[in-house]
Structure formats: C-alpha cells, structure tokens
Amino acid sequence: MGYAPIKTDRGVIGWLLLSIVTCGIYSYYFLYCLARDINVMCQDDGDSTPGLAAFILLSFVTCGFYALYWYYKIGNRLQANAPRYGLMFQENGTTVLMWQIVGALLCGLGSIFAMNIIIKNTNAMATAYNVRLDARA
C-alpha cells in the first residue's frame, strides 16, 4: 500500500449534495475512496474492506443486506484500529447498523446519520495517519 496522505476533510453535506446532483453516482465513487483509504490506514490489522465492485454486486444479490453488513464492518474496523492512532471511537458497527435500520423509519435520515459517523471517524483517523506519515518523512 502507498504512503500518500489521506483526505481529511470529507463531509456529510458534500457527500449528500454531490450524491443528489449526480443521481447517486458520486456515492459510489465516495464508497470506493472510503474503502481504499480505510484499507491503507488499517493495512496491518489482518482484515480487508471489500471494494466497490463487491459492494455493488453483493448488495444487488442480497437485496441490500450486504450493504448493511459492509457498513457494519467498516464501523467495527474503524473502532478496532483507532487505538493504533491514539484515538477512541464510541461508535462501532452496531451503532452504524442501528442508524441504518431504525433510521429507515425516520424517512431515510438514519442513513445520513450512519454515514456521518463513518465520515467523522474516518476523518479523525486520517488526520492521525497523516501526522504519523509526516513524522516518518
């Protein structure tokens, strides 16, 4: 894996607006970048976040259940790797999954809250990763 800095300024508003404007295409690009960056930051944990092709195919085959599992795994992976960077995330995969499922009853707003948790935790971990990267240089 590479040693390039990881983007730290992702935001839920930008994700939401760009996803709406592009009729959902941006959301797939976002997931691709998210999986790539999480795999870089967590590369030595013995796990791997599947990429966009697996996400789309398996979500289609399982009528969307794989997407819920994918988000759940990302939430857990971020929480498990946070101590490596001196961080501690209260939210885990169960929190993300509950927002996805129960939040569906709130006119779909739960997905936005779940993505906000993932974005917030990814940005925090990316900031710590970049600091560590700068220290190596």
Residue 122 lies in a domain: yes
Rounded to whole angstroms, how far apart are CA atoms 111 and 10?
16
Q: In this structure, what DSSP letter does residue 103 have?
A: G
Q: What per-residue string of b and e applies to 54-72 under the rule 16 or more CB within 10 Å gives b?
A: ebeebbeeeeeebbbebbb
Residue 124 lies in a domain: yes
pLDDT tens-digit series, residues 7-60: 999 999 999 999 999 999 999 999 999 999 999 999 999 999 999 999 999 999
Residue 4 lies in a domain: no
CB 113 within 8 A of CB 101: no
What is the extent of the structural domain holding 113? 12-136
Which pLDDT band holds residue 1 (cuts at 50, 70, 90)? very low
| pTM of the model as a whole | 0.93
Residue 47 lies in a domain: yes
Q: State how many domains the chain has.
A: 1
Neighbours of 86 (CB within 10 A): 9
Residue 94 lies in a domain: yes
Residue 107 lies in a domain: yes
In this structure, is the dihedral angle defined by the CA atoms of residues 84, 131, 91 and 69, taken in order, positive or negative? negative
CA angle 47, 51, 54 (to 5 degrees): 105
pLDDT tens-digit series, residues 81-124: 999 999 999 999 999 999 999 988 888 899 999 999 999 999 99
Residue 6 lies in a domain: no
